[in-house]
Structure 1
């Protein structure tokens, strides 16, 4: 079995990965250096190879993505016949949740303003701050990332409600789970609304003027899922009116956000360039190596894959 590996695994992570197929041949290559011949010879590719390059794949049995999202690979014919596609759900929970939690606390404690004051050499008291303790936090999306975020906030003393399509069991960190049908009845009671929803027809543009006007006055909004959830002009209006106390975004539409986009200058907003879920935290690559190793093992054994995506 020939396995082509794109993510920048360290020695320990490579050891974990290779344990999934001790007899296989592993080729490690940065994305710009990968040749068409390597793609053609690969039985397994670990990493997000550009979709158009999959046209060269001749023996591919599995494309193991290094991302939780897989939209770019869903066009008919992108994945070669007979090959499976698997996402990296489960690799990013700690990284994304900690990033979004830090952004939210930064807003609640006026830290962005104090950073501005430091740069201006201004000794300024910005007044009262907020706390997560006792807050009502509404988390949209209760998968791996949402569950990590719920554990962080509940440990701080917040009361966390999760929202997803079906109620089911209540994961650790949540006090209750509600359905999307109940969303607009929940928004007026939340001190913070935090979103980790995937891009889907039912989520695109969900955070619009109706959504923001339904939020509690003085609430915070955070989005670490997909940028197309938010109607950005409506978010700007909610911030400018003072209805929202602040917003934290790690995702926007488009990406990169143009330099002249008005979102940059909205009041009380923090924007990071979709970096929470990359490889900056070492645990992401640790988790990815484990997921890929397990799926290579399952592929060899003919058992169902983790995170297998249903292809069109």
Structure 2
């Protein structure tokens, strides 16, 4: 019998899904309410509990995260503990958020909202179109692929993908590069979108040097990790007109510091890390399925989904 803690806010129907798994003793708690006492005897934990609590989880054999990212947990668990992510749960929500940001930026919707609030009936001039544009997507995981498919279907003339390792090129990607050739991919793009996870190679990937090499008037979107961007360099690139605008769903420090110049730059569209999470019910449905399937596979010795090598 394995002691299982599911640290998610579940409905009774969702609880029954986990109860149906054989040979587990189930405990369900909200993530924010989990304590060190709750984890000390658990063999399996589902959910992104406070990483520091894992120091008390001496019996932990399997950790299933409800996020696609896992960098905050790698150093907190034994190398013998199985770690799985929830890659595949977030692509509908996050890719549509990225698409909404794309159109908001190039159509100036966020700035027109400012004008509406000020009863200002004036235009903001020229725009660009997704159709016939070049869009570079950094990170071709589930989310990046979903966004790339969408903009290609809308009519982008060239969709460039950047990933850590070159593999077979999907049909909706026109050009494919590794991070080593990152500069080639961003120089020609009208819109650059970052969906990369945080690694030593991606910290400050977008700095003054790389913003300067982007096409004059290009747009930048970041839904990956906040530490990929030198935020002062980004603000300056927008203020100087090097970039026509930017959209951020993630920042280096969250919540964003009240004194950050990002708040007051009208051509930067900011959302408070809400592209994913559970705001879309389908996201939660997918997380429950991935998690319950993996727990069932773990206790019955079957193959598991989204295993993270660590």
TM-score (norm 1): 0.92
Q: Where do 1:54-203 residues align within 5 Å?
A: 54-75=54-75, 78-80=76-78, 82-158=80-156, 159-171=158-170, 173-203=172-202
CA distance in 2, matches of 1:272, 1:144: 21
Offset at residue 132 of structure 1 (A): 0.8
CA distance in 1, matches of 2:159, 2:300: 40
Where 1:193 maps in the other structure, the secondary structure is strand
Unpaired runs of at least 5, structure 2: none
| Pairwise CA RMSD | 1.9
The answer on whether the counterparts of 1:42 and 1:59 sit within 8 Å (CA) in structure 2 is: yes
Offset at residue 303 of structure 1 (A): 3.5
Where 1:53 maps in the other structure, the secondary structure is helix
> Do the aligned partners of residues 215 and 61 (structure 1) sit closer, same or farther apart at CA in structure 2, a change above 3 Å counting?
same
Task: State the match for 1:2 in structure 2.
Answer: 3
CA distance in 1, matches of 2:224, 2:56: 32
Q: Where do 1:283-302 residues align within 5 Å?
A: 283-302=282-301
Choose between structure 1 and 2 for higher RCO, CA contacts under 8 A separated by at least 6 residues: 1
Where 2:167 maps in the other structure, the secondary structure is coil
Offset at residue 81 of structure 1 (A): 6.9
Offset at residue 259 of structure 1 (A): 0.7
The answer on whether the counterparts of 2:34 and 2:49 sit within 8 Å (CA) in structure 1 is: no
Q: Deviations over 1:257-307 (max 9, x none)?
A: 111111222341011111112111112111111111221122123244322
The answer on whether the counterparts of 1:139 and 1:161 sit within 8 Å (CA) in structure 2 is: yes
Task: State the match for 1:235 in structure 2.
Answer: 234
The answer on whether the counterparts of 1:250 and 1:272 sit within 8 Å (CA) in structure 2 is: yes
TM-score (norm 2): 0.92
Where 1:27 maps in the other structure, the secondary structure is strand
Offset at residue 22 of structure 1 (A): 4.1
Q: Deviations over 1:48-88 (max 9, x none)?
A: 1112222332432211111122222222xx22574322122
Offset at residue 32 of structure 1 (A): 3.5
Q: Deviations over 1:135-158 (max 9, x none)?
A: 110000000110011111112111
2:214 aligned with 1:211: no
Unpaired runs of at least 5, structure 1: none
Question: What is the count of residue pairs matched by the alignment?
Answer: 308
